[in-house]
Each structure stands twice: as structure tokens, then as C-alpha cells.
Structure 1
């Protein structure tokens, strides 16, 4: 299983052999509700199979759906689900993602993968990382306002002191010699060249530097998410003194993270994140208001689409739980609104978000209460 990252999204947006199968569904973390999840998944597979009959042979269908059926029968997998599930498959390609947000059940068979729901999750501004740090190992968590889950750090992130320092691990700086005593006995005498406390501090500094660099490179820069440090009070000062990660928040969780449950960590983390979260909403809305005052703020969807097509949109704000039936014609930027929308048809807001990202702009998904416009979108143009 792979974490949801911008790199993972880019992998899905690459060219893959057609047909590309996309499956989304809500899941549950606990018994007995999670018993419904594999049943819904198998029903979704039937829909996929029926759709494939229109374009693929029986042998091709069997090959495409084999990894899906294997997943359906994996009892261990269904005992450890989260809030949502996204599964993608094509010839020679299969990816499974646990989601920290629930999604509506739907399937898509097309020439490319359906990734809009993933982009909504990646574009949300309430996501964060928690680095649980001790002197000899780390754990990494990803969370939002509702949940916090431990994730596997990316390759290149050392998990332990030994992994980080290897042969550079400080050896005890002392030698032992024996001196003759009375009656032929010898007494060991220790000559210190730096006490054990000093050696521990040297190793801690090296370890913290390695962790800071690896987390910044492989997680903070890649995700853009804030980082919350969870560590003993005495470790906060040293880590912050050595850190060069701009994503590290000034406030952290002070206590032994190894003695805290994920729910306790989430509670403490959200107390830190909530004011940051609200401040971010306010800052985005105020920034749009300034753009609008300068004449570079756009609210009309057709105007936003035209500016996005020309690569002029620097920042786009999208209303979180709103869908606008319509589609954006690639290449021209023309907008078509659907008078009779399909249940799982195109969402114009998602199309705008995808186009802005392709053109190098930033996209943020905001709750309706924080949206500075009533059209579902608000864009700040570069010129």
C-alpha cells in the first residue's frame, strides 16, 4: 500500500494502458461496521466487470480484475481499513490507497485514472505530520482534524539511531588499564576522554540533524504539510536549534510520544493545528480580497477557466463540498455546464483545479463558511 502524496498522484496521472479502472468506496475502522466493506467492494467489482464487457475480451477482463479479486479475498486487509479506499488498476499496474476521509462509492472505466477525489484530499489545508522523536528512534504520523495514522517513512528516512549514524556512532571515549594492588590483585582504572553524557549528546545531535534533513527532504517538501514535533521537553530545544525545516511549527507536543496513544497524539496535535488551520483560511481569503481590490481576483467560473487555460491563475480556492455539473474542454478552456448531470459525472470545480495545477498554480479546498465567493471558486491571477 502507498501513502497519498503528490508523487503518488503524478504516478497515477502518467500514461497507462487503457482501460484504466478506478474504484472508490467508504470503509470503516472498527468491527462490526467494517464487515460491510468487502461486500460493497465485491459489488463494485461486478459493476467494473459489466463495464469492461463492452470493450474487452473475457481473458483480458480476468487478467485486469485478478488483483482486485485477490484484494477482495484478503481478510487481513479488510481488518485494517481506514475511512475510505481508492483502488486503481490497468495492465501491469495496481495501486491501493487507504484514505483518511470517507468517499462516495463509485467506479470509472476510462482511458485514464479518475483522480479527483485524491486531489481533493491532497489540496485540503487541515493535513499535517507528527514526528514522534526519541533519542534512538522515530515514528511518523499523518493526520487531519478527524484522524491520525502512523505511516511508513519514505525510503531514505532513517528510523533508528543506528540506521542514521551507522559507523559514525560514537564509541565510548575511555580506556581501561589495570594497576597492581596489594596481594597481587589488580584494580581497573578508567581514563575518560569525554564522559558518557557528552557522547550521548554528540550522537543525539547527529541523529536529530539526520532526521530533520530526511523528513524535510522526503516528506515536508513533498507534501507541503506542517510538521508537529512530539518529544520529551528536553529534546525540543536541541531539535529546533538544529532544524532547517520551515514546515516545523513553533509549538509542539511535549511528553513521551511512546507513552501516548494515537488518539492522545491526535488530540494534542489538533489543539496545535486548529489555530494554524483557521489562520490559514483567513490568510487565503484575505489574499483573494487584496487580489480582487487590485482587479486580479476572479469569481466567474468562465473567466477563471479562461485565465487558467492561459496559465494566469496563481492560486485557486475551491468550495469543499460543492459540485458543479459541467466540464472543461481541454485545449480551449471553454466551459460546458450540464443541464442533466450524471450521478458521477464531471465536476467543473475539479477540472479547474486540475488545470491550475498543470499550469503551475496552487489549489486549496476550503469549507463554504470560509469561501470568499459564492460561485464555488475564487482565483487570484498573476496579471
Structure 2
């Protein structure tokens, strides 16, 4: 299993040796619905095999599909799926992502990965993270308006408890040492024992919160760029905010630890806080496009957008979430060539546009169909 927010967008934009195989399918969290998931997966693998046979010899095809076949046989994996699945594979590369959103079934063989469904998840304006914090441990959740999951593990991330991060025995020894006077005798005349214990507790809490802030910023917030909600007991909010350097931490809070709520109740509380941000951002993007288009600094014509994308002129590109336009963009001319997705050289025009804009430092936002300001599937705001 791989973490999407850690890989995105580098692994999708880097040049990979073709063929690049992209598989997407909806999956299910509960039995018996999830029993059909591996069957649907195998059917999609067969579709990729048929596409590969148009261009590659059987020996190469067997090698390319072996990781997919191994995944199909992994019963543990299929017993613990989420709402969707994405698999990206190329020679020397195999990445598997469990998704918090259902995705349409799709199997694409092309010269680059089909990434628009993943862009929708990562670039969607309704995505957020939650930091569940206590004095002794922390956990991080990631979700959207529909789904919330705890992030179980991140490769290279430090431990998540105070004992592991600070070293409990060392901290206790240090506190006990400071409870004594300079002569080595207990400092009863200076401080009451209860006061000393509280000082040790407060110091360890501050030290732990500081370590948590650094870990969350480095391993969660910066890679994802998502807004972060603090969920903790009321008495822990001010001490954490006093030491936090995380610019992604929003002012809105959940004044209860996540363990006191069901996952769905936690999601509902989080979405109440995030929905205003979501609506404001979408409205702002639509307004910005309208203003730019009125000045000749925006476009909805796909041919014009493709030419501008190749030239690196696009600052922000809005892409319709569920739209697919089979074809590709000629990298030299910017011309759009349309064809059928069964052709192993063909991907999605909108997907190619998104990749091109990301490669030139632009922003790509996947927008629900009902909120798109255009009918073409794309809307571009130019830099110049």
C-alpha cells in the first residue's frame, strides 16, 4: 500500500518507461459487497491485456501483468479495501492506492499514467486532515465531505506516543532530579511535591506537543497541503497552538478527542467546519475565471488551452471531475489528437492538460460538474 499524498504529484509527472498501466475501480468496505471486488479487478486486468496485445509481445505482457495477478490473489488486501482503488504500473514501478472516494472502472494503457481520478482526490477543495491530540499520543485522519479514515502509517514517520518520542524514563529521571535542591536533598522547603509533579507534567506536555507539531508539519501537512483541524480536549488547544508553527492549522477546532466520537460523527463535525472553506474556494475560482476571461486572460476552448499549457502560460486550470475526452496533446505543437481509449497510445485530453499545467508550475483544481463555469470540461486562467 502506498500513500497518495506522499507520491503526488511527482510520481505521476516524472517520465516513466512505457507502457504505463492505470487501473481504477470502485471497492467496498463491507462483506458481502467486497467479494465482487477482486473479480472486477481481474476483468479490468484482462482489458489491459487486450490493449497491450495490440503493441507488445506476449512475453513482455506476462511480465507487465504479473504484479496485478499477485495483487488479485492477495486475500488480506481485498478484505480491507476502502471506497476505491487505483493501481499505477510501469517497468520497475508498481503503486497501489486505496481511495476514500469511489471511482469509475477504467483500465488505460498509454505512454503516461492516467491521473485525473487521483487529481480529483488530491486537488479537490473539500479535502482536509484532522490531528487527534492528547497528552500521551497523537493520530492523523484524512477525509472529505463523504469519508474519513485514520492514516495508519507513513513510511519514515517517527512514533506517535510521548513515551516513544521523548523517552519516558529519561523524562522522569530529569524531572525527579530537578525536584531536589542544590544540596541533593529533597527540595521540600522550595516546592510542594504536587507542584513539582505538575511542573514536570506541563514541561513534558509542551515538549511532546512541540515534537508532534514538527512531525505533523513535515510528514502530513507539507506533503498534502491540506487544511488541518485540531481535535482535542479544550485544555489542550491553547498549549498546542502556542508552540505550533503549522500554517495549515485552521482556527476552527473540535473540542473533543476523536476517541470519544464515532468516525462518522467526527467526519460530520469536521465537514461543518470545512464546508465554508470549500464553497468559498470554488466560488472564488469561478469568479476569477470569469474576470480573467473578460480580459482575454482566460479560455474554455480546449485547443486554445492546450497551446497555452504547452507554453507554460496557465496559472490555474479547472477540470470537470467526471469528464473524459479520449485523445492526447502533441507535445510539440499543442494540437489535440482524439482517438479511442482502447488504443495503447491514447489517454484523456483533460488528463494530459492537467499534467502539462502541473509540470509548468500551475495549479490544477478538479471541480464538480454542477459547479464548472464552462461546458467544455476545462477552464484556464492565464499567467500572462
**Is the structural similarity TM-score above 0.5?**
yes
Match of 1:42 in 2: 42
SS at 1:363's partner residue? strand
Alpha-carbon distance in structure 1 between the residues aligned to 2:43 and 2:359: 34
Equivalent in the alignment of 1:180: none
User: Which residue number corresponds to residue 287 of structure 2?
Assistant: 286
Who is 2:201 aligned against?
200
Question: In 2, Cα distance between the equivalents of 1:257 and 1:380?
Answer: 40
Equivalent position of 1:260 in the other structure: 261
> Could you give the per-residue CA deviations for residues 52-102 of structure 1, whole angstroms, max 9, x where no partner exists?
445555554444333322221222111110111112334443221101111
2:130 aligned with 1:130, yes or no? Answer: yes
Shift of the alpha carbon at 1:205?
1.4
Q: Distance in 1 between matches of 2:323 and 2:248?
A: 30
Q: Relative contact order: is structure 1 or structure 2 higher (C-alpha 8 Å, sep ≥ 6)?
A: 2
Q: Is the 8 A contact 1:148 1:263 kept in 2?
A: yes
Contact in 2 for aligned 1:230/1:254 (Cα 8 Å):
yes
Q: Residue 321 of structure 2 corresponds to which residue in structure 1?
A: 320
The TM-score with structure 2 as length reference comes to 0.87
Tell me if 1:103 matches 2:107: no
Shift of 1:317: 1.3
Q: Is the 8 A contact 1:6 1:122 kept in 2?
A: no
User: 1:132, CA displacement in angstroms?
Assistant: 0.7
Q: Please state whether the residue corresponding to 1:159 is helix, strand or coil.
A: coil
- CA distance in 2 between counterparts of 1:228 and 1:104 reads 30
Aligned pair 1:350/2:354, yes or no? no
Which secondary structure state, in structure 1, belongs to the residue aligned with residue 140 of structure 2? strand
- Residue 25 of structure 2: aligned partner: 25
326-335 or 70-79: bigger deviation: 326-335
Query: Within 1, Cα distance between the matches of 2:9 and 2:370?
Result: 28
> TM-score, with normalisation over the residues of structure 1?
0.87
Q: Determine the C-alpha separation between the residues in 2 that align with 1:343 and 1:51.
A: 6
Q: 1:121 to 1:26 in 2, by over 3 A?
A: same
Query: Which residue of the partner structure matches residue 73 of structure 1?
Result: 73
| Cα distance change, pair 99–316 in 1 and its aligned pair in 2 (3 A) | same
Q: Distance between the aligned counterparts of 1:311 and 1:12, measured in 2? A: 18
- Deviation of residue 201 (structure 1)? 1.3
> What value does the CA root-mean-square deviation take over the aligned residues?
2.6
* Partner in structure 2 of residue 171 of structure 1: 175
Asked if structure 2 preserves the Cα contact closer than 8 Å seen for 1:140 and 1:153, the reply is no
Q: Distance in 2 between matches of 1:327 and 1:17?
A: 17
Q: What CA deviation, in whole Å up to 9, does each residue of 1:122-171 have, x standing for no partner?
A: 22111111111111111111101110111124524441113333487353
Whole-angstrom CA distance in 2 between matches of 1:379 and 1:22 = 26
CA contact (8 A) 1:158 1:211 kept: no
Deviates more, 1:9-18 or 1:272-281: 9-18
Asked whether the 8 Å contact 1:349–1:376 carries over to 2, the reply is yes
**Aligned 8 A contact 1:157 1:218 in 2:** no
Q: Which segments of 5 or more consecutive residues in structure 1 lack a partner in the other structure?
A: 177-187
Cα gap change, 1:306 to 1:17, in 2 (>3 Å): closer
Work out the CA distance in 2 between the residues paired with 1:230 and 1:201: 19
Structure ID, larger Rg? 1
The DSSP-based 3-state class of the residue aligned with 2:216 is helix
Change (3 A) 1:135 1:35: same
Using the alignment, how far apart are the partners of 2:311 and 2:18 within structure 1? Answer: 29
Map 1:1-383 → 2, pairs under 5 A: 1-5=1-5, 7-54=7-54, 59-151=59-151, 152-166=153-167, 169=171, 171-172=175-176, 173-175=178-180, 192=191, 195-336=196-337, 338=338, 342=341, 346-383=347-384
For 1:23 and 1:97, the matched residues in 2 are separated by 10
Alpha-carbon displacement from aligned partner over 1:336-361 (angstroms, at most 9, x marks no partner): 4x4x7557964322221111111110
Distance 2:45 2:19 in 1: 15
SS in structure 2 at match of 1:28: coil
Q: 1:192-227 CA distances to partner (integer Å, 9 max, x unpaired)?
A: 486111211111112212222222222222211111
- Provide the rounded CA distance (Å) in 1 between the counterparts of 2:307 and 2:213: 42
- SS of residue in 1 equivalent to 2:175: coil
Structure 2 CA distance, aligned partners of 1:133 and 1:175?
32
